[in-house]
Chains A and B, each alone.
Chain A
Amino acid sequence: MTLQAPQLPTREIELVTDRRRLILGGGLVLGLAVASVKARAQTADPSRVNPAGPQPLSTDDVSAAAGEGFRGFAPDAFIRITRDNQVILIIPNVEMGQGIYMGESSLIAEELEVGLDQVLIAPAPPNEALYKQPLLQFQGTGGSTSIRGAWEPLRKAGAAARTLLITAAANRWGVPVAECVAERAMVRHTPSGRQTTYGEVVDDASRLPKPEQVALKDPSQFKIIGKMIRRVDTPAKVNGTAVYGIDVIRPGMKFATVQSCPWRGGTLRAVDDRAALAVPGVLQVIRLPDAVAVVGEHFWAAKQGLDLLKVQWNAGPNANMSTEGLWASMEQASNAARGAVAHQSGDFDRAFQGAEKRVEAVYRQPFLCHAPMEPQAAVVHVTGGGAEIWCGTQVPTSAQGAAAKILGVPPERVTIHNYLIGGAFGRKLETDYVEQAVQIARFCPYPVKMVWTREQDTQHDNYRPLYLDKISAGLGADGLPVAWRHRVTAASVTIRFVGPAGMRPNGVDPDAVEEAEDPVYGKFQNMLLDYVQWQPPEGLRVSWWRGVGPTHAIYVVESFVDELAHAAGQDPVEYRRKLLRNQPRGLAVLNRAAQAAGWGTPLPAGAGRGVIVQKSFGSFLAAVVEVQVADEGDVRLRRITVAVDSGITVNPSVLKQQVEGGILFGLTAALFNEITFERGRVQQSNFHDYRMLRINETPPVEVIHIQTNNPPGGIGEAGTTAAAPALCNAIFAATGVRLRELPVRRELLRKNARKRTLAPPIAAALGARLLTPAEEVRDERADANAANDRGELPLDGIGEP
């Protein structure tokens, strides 16, 4: 049997490459996107689906367009206009579903006075100097920072370019600039009606000095910002022409797949590859220090080969690692006498002792996998003294640097072509998959596409860390907190990702306490918040996951505030309203969400509503989740209502998309997801045991958008941070069972289990664990929870700062 290499696509791609060169030689950039789309989908009729819509360009295209050879108008890092009036916008942030191509192109186009149907969009190449994210201070996309950082600079870039183009046209006509206006990539002299395209004045505009100051539009003049305009990146995503990193095809390319050591920190001992090499189409078996890869004529051959390898590993230091052991270690750490103090005001101890009621709780959150739909993949071609890499990455400059380090070459010898990302949620802030692809490609005389299996992707992710939160509050006579004590124990994502420079001088990880420190209510009275940095075992890498610190903190704070409301015998919305007295934006979203959700109206038996209010990433959001809990303990989502104030909104449609998807993403994790270790190995492997919410489980989601004139907030993660506490509060309302550990455990919600585990009358009625000076109520539910063998954790251990 012979195997064929991918013949036709190679030819097609060569054709594209040739045409690209020709086309670029002629300076016409528009043609090439169309050419590449056509070649990739030759049997499709592109006219059927919005072919006129802007298509994202690859960096191949843009580096030609934006590079040395570009002829036309290039006033800054973001705008290119050719002599034939093609407008190319270079977008500093990467598109991974969050709609940033739309958001950032809108900012530039609004001030540049071009239509979004007139532009081509290109991802920025790695270049710290040009594309550093202003809030992150490196070239990266994450933390819902993109629009917040780009809001001023990109509009100013558009306005400056427009000013130059208008000036150039006015000069040519010998008329005052003030008599000219720009619209849809044209300049018009209003009195005479004369007009010219931008393209016709690009050479003149290029010679003009940059304006010192530019005036930005008044929001009332916006034509794009704030309008319901369709996303620019989506036409190609519904007809198969969008190219993600995993889709890249290079001439002569081969395919690799890989198995990393199942034990973190372990190494490869020996491989018997005889059977693998006998598989038709298998070309090479590559041994890396901690992994083994098989290269073949196609992914299937590589995968067949991989399955036939007989591999021996040195399990290394984590051979016996278990989730249970990790929790025990965290528990021990959390009992440290001192934590790093993030915030301290007043006198917690005194206020707590003097409180009318005292409430305490311990919350636990699991490891989470990112599980983007596109498994990790990268194409790498190592050539003499450098490499070319085609992939999707949230951190192009870091990826370039990491690859260069492996190859021992200066970064400029590594070219990164960045592509659309099929979901990242933080996953592609890491460069491990790019590095592994480079290590594999070093052994290959051809370009090689490394594609991870879903199993590899699930088991070798860099997980969202475990969190252990111990929290206690004293309530005053009005039921509101007069003392607030919160200790966060967790591995530090910041120290792993940024290093000590990212930490506060006293050892607080700002990410671990974000929104615990400064919740939507403002600081609590007599508040003490500290952080214990837990050291994870060597080789266990924790990382950013959608919602980052706030996903962790808002679950704890909003669950606990709910517990306090019940302990005080007050309605959870009413209680929050009191806490929000001085927080108008928080109060406004809470009221809107509660009203729209019909808060307080009757529900069928077994149903319940949970509410949360939060601020995260500069946006304010309140959510009401409605659930139905069956007697067997199954939780069904009935309805979701969200009100959001994200300040000035660049695109309301994208905002709603992000909130809908974001909250469902968070609910998926809260309902189903945890990564666990046993004997050092990850127990989950694919979507059957790391399961996703599906359409039949998805309730209606209503998003109410409250427009305000506050500076834009981030929106890609705010829905996610709201999910888990709203869900658990709803489950409590439906069942009286307070879940303090994620994900939701159905066995705790079975009707008879509920009865058995209910706390004594007062707590059962109010549903909170109370510790009053007069009567200490023991939470028996915790005892009944077999999964909760770690037992009740004494809060006394929190200790003095």
Chain B
Amino acid sequence: MRKNLNVNGEVRVVDVPPDMPLLWVLRDVLGLTGTKYGCGIAQCGACTIHIDGRPVRSCVLPASAAGGAIVTIEAVGNTPTGAAAQKAWLDLDVVQCGYCQSGQVMSAAALLARNPAPTDEDIDLAMSGNICRCATYPRIRDAIKRAARS
């Protein structure tokens, strides 16, 4: 299947099986390895990307169904909420191993874009699909609030 994908503001032509999850298109075909594989079954959120600003688990999204503007962690810093989240993450030393953090930042940036002042419940709802094995959750919560204030 030949397909045009709009990834991080560029049109990329890929030729991949229609059922190939976007995660593997990004990582193994386009070389955008910032988006991570953790579970492959929409359980961990490591593969979270944005499609038209909404957070999507790319490990279960077939390439054939991937339309719209795709933004990955490599470019989310170009969006105001992505940049704010990244900065807050560093200000509060959120990160440990970092492997989950691409997905965390993507989920947080999407949350902040649609809700500039999230409550604890909003954070729970938006972020509970993202596992962090290093359990950086308390700092993720604080960083989202800090980014919201900025």
In the assembled complex, B4 has its CB within 8 A of some CB on chain A: no
Proximity bits, A238-256, B CB within 8 Å = 1, else 0: 1111111011010000010
In the complex, what residues of B have CB within 8 A of residue A246's CB?
A: 33, 36-37
In the assembled complex, A50 has its CB within 8 A of some CB on chain B: yes
Known A48-B86, A299-B27, A375-B37: A695·B75 in contact at CB below 8 Å:
no
Q: Give the distance in Å from the alpha carbon of A13 to the alpha carbon of B31 in the complex.
A: 9
Known A40-B33, A240-B73, A372-B133: A50·B97 in contact at CB below 8 Å:
no
In the complex, what residues of A have CB within 8 A of residue B85's CB?
A: 238
B24 CB, min distance to chain A CBs, angstroms: 4
B6 CB, min distance to chain A CBs, angstroms: 11
Decide if B29 touches A298 in the complex (CB within 8 Å): yes
In the complex, what residues of B have CB within 8 A of residue A635's CB?
A: none
A126 CB, min distance to chain B CBs, angstroms: 21
Decide if A244 touches B99 in the complex (CB within 8 Å): yes
Decide if B90 touches A50 in the complex (CB within 8 Å): yes
In the assembled complex, A3 has its CB within 8 A of some CB on chain B: yes
Known A97-B98, A657-B139, A701-B138: A49·B77 in contact at CB below 8 Å:
yes
In the assembled complex, A6 has its CB within 8 A of some CB on chain B: yes
Q: Give the distance in Å from the alpha carbon of A41 to the alpha carbon of B132 in the complex.
A: 24
Known A43-B74, A97-B134, A693-B135: A374·B36 in contact at CB below 8 Å:
yes
Decide if B39 touches A687 in the complex (CB within 8 Å): yes
Cross-chain contact of A43 among B10, B16, B35, B133 (Cβ < 8 A): B10
In the assembled complex, B96 has its CB within 8 A of some CB on chain A: yes
Decide if B30 touches A660 in the complex (CB within 8 Å): no
In the complex, what residues of A have CB within 8 A of residue B15's CB?
A: 1-4
Decide if A235 touches B90 in the complex (CB within 8 Å): yes
Decide if A4 touches B87 in the complex (CB within 8 Å): no
B27 CB, min distance to chain A CBs, angstroms: 7
Decide if A422 touches B99 in the complex (CB within 8 Å): yes
In the complex, what residues of B have CB within 8 A of residue A231's CB?
A: 93, 95
In the complex, what residues of A have CB within 8 A of residue B7's CB?
A: 43
Proximity bits, A128-139, B CB within 8 Å = 1, else 0: 000000000000
Cross-chain contact of B133 among A234, A281, A423 (Cβ < 8 A): A423
In the assembled complex, B117 has its CB within 8 A of some CB on chain A: no
Known A43-B10, A687-B39: A695·B141 in contact at CB below 8 Å:
yes
Decide if A3 touches B16 in the complex (CB within 8 Å): yes
Decide if A451 touches B37 in the complex (CB within 8 Å): yes
Decide if B10 touches A373 in the complex (CB within 8 Å): no
Decide if A696 touches B124 in the complex (CB within 8 Å): yes
Q: Give the distance in Å from the alpha carbon of A274 to the alpha carbon of B115 in the complex.
A: 51
Q: Give the distance in Å from the alpha carbon of A660 to the alpha carbon of B134 in the complex.
A: 9
In the assembled complex, A99 has its CB within 8 A of some CB on chain B: yes
Decide if A423 touches B97 in the complex (CB within 8 Å): yes
Decide if B20 touches A300 in the complex (CB within 8 Å): yes
Proximity bits, B1-34, A CB within 8 Å = 1, else 0: 1000001111010111100110010011111111
Known A660-B138, A696-B128: A687·B43 in contact at CB below 8 Å:
yes
Q: Can you list 26 A-B contacts (CB < 8 A)?
A: A2-B15, A4-B15, A9-B30, A12-B31, A41-B74, A96-B97, A230-B93, A234-B93, A237-B98, A239-B86, A241-B34, A298-B16, A300-B21, A373-B97, A373-B131, A423-B97, A423-B133, A660-B135, A660-B138, A664-B135, A665-B133, A687-B38, A688-B41, A695-B128, A695-B140, A696-B127
Additional 12 contacts, C-beta under 8 A, given A9-B30, A234-B95, A654-B93: A3-B17, A41-B75, A96-B97, A238-B86, A238-B90, A280-B17, A373-B133, A660-B135, A665-B134, A687-B39, A687-B41, A692-B133
Contact surface of B with A, Cβ cutoff 8 Å: 1, 7-10, 12, 14-17, 20-21, 24, 27-41, 43-44, 46, 72-75, 77-78, 83, 85-87, 89-91, 93-102, 105, 123-125, 127-128, 130-141
Closest A-B pairs by Cβ, 4 of them: A240-B34, A9-B31, A97-B97, A422-B99
